[in-house]
Structure 1
Amino acid sequence: MTTETPAPRHETDVTSGPGAVGAAVAAAREAQPWWAGIGFAGRKKALDAWRVLILRRADELVDVIRAETGKTADDARLEVILVADHLRWAAAHAGKVLGRRRVPSGLLMFNQSATVEYRPLGVVGVIGPWNYPAFIPIGPVSAALAAGNTVVLKPSELTPAVGQWLADTLAEAVDGPRVLRVVTGSGETGAALCRAAVDKISFTGSSATGRRVMAACAENLTPVVIEGGGKDAMIVAADADLDAAADAAVWAAMSNAGQTCVGLERVYVVSEVADRFLRLVGDRAAALRTGDRPDADLGPIVLPRQLEIIKAHVRDAVARGARVVLGGTESFTPPYVAPIVLADVPEDSVALTEETFGPVLVVNRVTCVDEAVDQVNASAYGLGASVYTGDRSQGRRIAGRLRAGMVSVNAVIAFAGIPALPFGGVGDSGFGRVHGPDGLREFTRTQAVTSQRFRPLMQPNSFGRAPGTMQTLVRMMRALYGR
């Protein structure tokens, strides 16, 4: 994600600032026992009603997203689809994933009944980004709510109305106190939320801002989930379906005008098929439409400062000898950037070492897949990746070698569309997970409980134990586990 967020491009009546954080957290904490008390079934009913209302008013949400981001209608519709599916999954599976379950007691404690369950933390703070202002926050919001927490959401100051729309529709769908509250404003509001002694913070944004979030949370030992930036890569093997790989590469790199944390920014293609792959990518990217037009494929660059970052990356690559396949500095007509494809970019160029977050795709040729794996893993980031090969088994083996939190084989970003899969990265891309069972457990505290079923024949946990008890137990352990 990007490192700075400017003032909103238009005024909104959804403002609060850091001074409102304390009251929002206090209200969320007051509502949390009621929300936890209705149980998994009650929360599922409430969250299902919210999902139905969101889908019924999907066109309205699309309009709100587009008004604040400028993204194309289909990009906004994709968000709504993902919001509904992830919300459905969290509500449906929370009870099974988090509810009490028995575990084996073992030999030494065979007289004990042992259970583990996952209890809500209390109040969870969610700091969301502007690039997917509905879909990205819904991951931690839905998991935290399904687990029995209440949530205080701080959306980007560029997209406050999307966050408020989500909170308002949940309040409309559910009788009772508000369990999702919104605080808006600049980074100071986010910092105040980090310092408000909530029980966990989930942050999505740049790696640099993630470090600042961690520092603020450390003051109260507040645990965090960090989804930072990415420099996602694709590997194209010699036996890959090049048409499919090129089509996927262009969509993953250019959709949402390249403003996607798991968007594709670099491709490593085996030399023997590189020329054909580049032609296919160039032709597909050249056909895309950019600008303020009904049939546009690419909308604006939302963050004005990002335009200079994108341009600097392109200039640095070209100055270091990169070949321009499509576009270049003439692709910039602020706030729009037309697709840019670069080839043979030196690996130490900022176009390959830093997150570009725009519609720029770097395609570099490699001698073999092993070299491609090395180049992918050389990045400080480790969010998502993709592999294209004619041998799916080989694709899985390659995926297993990649230092990335998520990998798609013969597809791109498929992992983000599967609610049961955990979403998150390693390295500068952060830690912790949203989505799936891991994402549900992320917003809980684990509690182990034992209950004695009957008095044991031997009681080692007592100063009144019979003489020889411990020696007898040692002999038993040797007999059972000593060989």
Structure 2
Amino acid sequence: MTTVHAVETFDSLNPATDEVIGTYPVHSADEVQAAVDRARAAARWWESLGFAGRAERLARWRGSLARRLPELCELVSRETGKPAGDAQLEIVLAIEHLAWAGKQARKVLGTQRRAPGLLLSNQAATVEYQPLGVIGVIGPWNYPVYTPLGSIAYALAAGNAVVFKPSEYTPGVGTWLVDTFAEAVPEYPVLQLVTGFGATGAALARSGVDKIAFTGSTATGKKVMAAAAETLTPVVIEAGGKDPLLVDADADLDAAADATVWGAFSNAGQTCAGVERVYVHQGVYDAFVAKVVERAKKVSAGADYGPMTMPTQLEVVRTHILDALARGGRALVGGKDAVGDRYVQPTVLVDVPEDSAAVREETFGPTVTIAKVADMDEAIEKANDSVYGLGSTVFAKRRGLELARRLRTGQTAINAPLSFAGIASLPFGGRGDSGFGRIHGPEGLREFARPKAIARQRFTVPLRLTTFPRSPRTDALVGKLIATLHGRR
């Protein structure tokens, strides 16, 4: 990693103890621009390696991450407060995505033949995907390895250099990732780090990179887009969510209850695609709620998940709970006293009005609302009545696929929680206030590449269409040919 000198610094704290984990520079706009300028030369070298050369170096990095897994797990746990097992889960998934991107890049982005059509049958038509150049990645704190690598790994595999700005809450994890990459790829600064607050991220968005990949809140995503618009820099935005889970009358209630509790409370509910709303068929509502309550009472903040990483989120969670209770909702687990100084205990809310903050706005804490519906049509209607559209889950034996297709979200899991996030070949992204663009899968590789179309004439033909000396006879022949081919219906 290239060392830059900044006067202003900030501390990274363990949210469970306020222990200072490390001190990092606040990089200025000039320093961000210098990193981007260095990345330009690095990008040319990285592209020149070709798919095989890049795959080999990404494999080196992947091997380092796997061998030093306990070290990275400890750092993630210290900076986010999450248990070591949860830290390991996100890192393992990130390594799987890195492996897939490196191995599949040639197949997805390499030269592909296209049919030229009858009129231009003398042409050879191909499409290839070329790297954009330099990608700016602005990462979140809730999954500081898995989420940014969902952009970084695919951008690197596509042939781009990357300038990475991690969250100010997890700069140590970002530093570790960039340093280990530099050990695997020491020749050029293909992956660089800039640290700081919102101004540093804004500087990266304005720096003239070829694309910005942002993960964070919807409000911040809009600011990133506004900054990027000044230089017409395209963006891929993975923003917030208010993800629903549907339970049909024939669902496996034990599995659905377990998925609800894990999806709502794991990582202290600080998951953009976590479960925040549940809609249950009236025929199984009481039984399902009883199973959720039974499981939720066995989950404890501080033991099963960590503190709220961002202290200001505590007030958001408290406000949503109190508003739900004031509007007639009931807390079957947790409630008004669930929010402490650092931790929030699991909270299960029922009878909450659909227009309350706890249903309409992203809570991003360990709470969940459960509502009874007459049928799955009502469930779909209420689930889709949201400005967000990131992930969703369906538990049903007979109609699972049908219901999944009707949900207005970027991805849906059927009879398992968040399974789409672990499948590297599936694209991930949202719609509405959850953002746009896709990471992961072939779509994620193409997100960081530009299609290049090439038409090569293989031989000349008598019917020359693109020339001024074209004869009336040629026009007449072409007209008859088109009428024969397309005019019969």
Identify the TM-score tier after normalising by the shorter chain: over 0.9
CA distance in 2 between counterparts of 1:16 and 1:36 reads: 30
Task: Name the aligned partner's letter for residue 357 of structure 2.
Answer: V
Match runs of 1:74-113 below 5 Å:
74-113=85-124
In the other structure, the counterpart of 1:450 is 455
**In the TM superposition, what is the alpha-carbon distance from 1:111 to its structure 2 partner?**
0.6
Q: Deviations over 1:289-315 (max 9, x none)?
A: 222xxxx10100011110000000000
CA distance in 1 between counterparts of 2:186 and 2:195 reads: 24
CA distance in 2 between counterparts of 1:482 and 1:414 reads: 49
Q: Is 1:216–2:227 an aligned residue pair?
A: yes
Q: Alignment partner for residue 52 of structure 2, among 38, 41, 57?
A: 41
Q: Is 1:312–2:323 an aligned residue pair?
A: no
In the other structure, the counterpart of 1:467 is 472
In the other structure, the counterpart of 2:349 is 342
In the other structure, the counterpart of 2:417 is 412
Give the 3-state SS of the residue equivalent to 1:152 in structure 2. strand
Q: Deviations over 1:34-73 (max 9, x none)?
A: 1000000000000011111100000011011011101111
Q: Alignment partner for residue 182 of structure 1, among 189, 193, 205?
A: 193
Report if aligned partners of 2:12, 2:172 keep a CA contact under 8 Å in 1: no
Give the 3-state SS of the residue equivalent to 1:240 in structure 2. coil
Report if aligned partners of 1:32, 1:179 keep a CA contact under 8 Å in 2: yes
TM-score (norm 2): 0.95
Task: Name the aligned partner's letter for residue 135 of structure 1.
Answer: Y
Q: Is 1:168–2:179 an aligned residue pair?
A: yes
**In the TM superposition, what is the alpha-carbon distance from 1:8 to its structure 2 partner?**
4.2
CA distance in 2 between counterparts of 1:180 and 1:251 reads: 34
**In the TM superposition, what is the alpha-carbon distance from 1:16 to its structure 2 partner?**
3.9
Give the 3-state SS of the residue equivalent to 1:337 in structure 2. coil
Give the 3-state SS of the residue equivalent to 2:22 in structure 1. coil
Q: Deviations over 1:70-92 (max 9, x none)?
A: 11111101111011100000001
Q: Deviations over 1:258-315 (max 9, x none)?
A: 0000000010001111111111101101101222xxxx10100011110000000000
Q: Alignment partner for residue 261 of structure 1, among 272, 280, 291?
A: 272
In the other structure, the counterpart of 1:380 is 387
Report if aligned partners of 2:135, 2:160 keep a CA contact under 8 Å in 1: yes
CA distance in 2 between counterparts of 1:367 and 1:226 reads: 35
Q: Deviations over 1:377-429 (max 9, x none)?
A: 001100000100122xx110111111000001111110000000000010000
Match runs of 1:15-414 below 5 Å:
15-19=25-29, 20-291=31-302, 296-391=303-398, 394-414=399-419
* Structure 2: gaps of 5 or more residues: 1-9, 14-19
CA distance in 1 between counterparts of 2:402 and 2:482 reads: 40
CA distance in 1 between counterparts of 2:358 and 2:220 reads: 20
CA distance in 2 between counterparts of 1:79 and 1:324 reads: 31
CA distance in 2 between counterparts of 1:92 and 1:148 reads: 13
Give the 3-state SS of the residue equivalent to 1:329 in structure 2. coil
Task: Name the aligned partner's letter for residue 347 of structure 1.
Answer: E
Report if aligned partners of 2:11, 2:24 keep a CA contact under 8 Å in 1: no
Report if aligned partners of 1:18, 1:190 keep a CA contact under 8 Å in 2: no
Report if aligned partners of 2:39, 2:162 keep a CA contact under 8 Å in 1: yes
**In the TM superposition, what is the alpha-carbon distance from 1:11 to its structure 2 partner?**
6.1
Q: Deviations over 1:205-227 (max 9, x none)?
A: 01111111110000000000001
Give the 3-state SS of the residue equivalent to 2:167 in structure 1. coil
**In the TM superposition, what is the alpha-carbon distance from 1:13 to its structure 2 partner?**
3.4
Report if aligned partners of 1:125, 1:198 keep a CA contact under 8 Å in 2: yes
Report if aligned partners of 2:393, 2:416 keep a CA contact under 8 Å in 1: yes
CA distance in 2 between counterparts of 1:23 and 1:437 reads: 31
Give the 3-state SS of the residue equivalent to 1:196 in structure 2. coil
Task: Name the aligned partner's letter for residue 458 of structure 2.
Answer: R
Report if aligned partners of 2:12, 2:23 keep a CA contact under 8 Å in 1: no
Report if aligned partners of 1:298, 1:338 keep a CA contact under 8 Å in 2: no
Task: Name the aligned partner's letter for residue 346 of structure 1.
Answer: P
Between the aligned residues of both structures, percent identity stands at 54
Q: Alignment partner for residue 437 of structure 1, among 430, 435, 442?
A: 442
* Number of residue-to-residue matches in the alignment: 472
CA distance in 2 between counterparts of 1:115 and 1:328 reads: 60
TM-score (norm 1): 0.96
**In the TM superposition, what is the alpha-carbon distance from 1:331 to its structure 2 partner?**
1.4
Task: Name the aligned partner's letter for residue 73 of structure 1.
Answer: A
**In the TM superposition, what is the alpha-carbon distance from 1:21 to its structure 2 partner?**
0.3
**In the TM superposition, what is the alpha-carbon distance from 1:139 to its structure 2 partner?**
0.8
Task: Name the aligned partner's letter for residue 251 of structure 2.
Answer: A
Distance change >3 Å, CA 105–CA 26, structure 1 → 2: same
Q: Which moved more, 1:328-337 or 1:45-54?
A: 328-337
Q: Deviations over 1:79-129 (max 9, x none)?
A: 110111000000010000000111001011111110001100000000000
Report if aligned partners of 2:245, 2:277 keep a CA contact under 8 Å in 1: yes
Report if aligned partners of 1:14, 1:164 keep a CA contact under 8 Å in 2: no
**In the TM superposition, what is the alpha-carbon distance from 1:175 to its structure 2 partner?**
3.8
**RMSD (Å), alpha carbons:** 1.1
CA distance in 1 between counterparts of 2:26 and 2:50 reads: 32
In the other structure, the counterpart of 1:3 is none
CA distance in 2 between counterparts of 1:471 and 1:406 reads: 51
CA distance in 1 between counterparts of 2:153 and 2:375 reads: 42
Task: Name the aligned partner's letter for residue 230 of structure 1.
Answer: G
Report if aligned partners of 1:266, 1:363 keep a CA contact under 8 Å in 2: yes
* Structure 1: gaps of 5 or more residues: 1-5
CA distance in 1 between counterparts of 2:28 and 2:92 reads: 32
In the other structure, the counterpart of 1:13 is 23
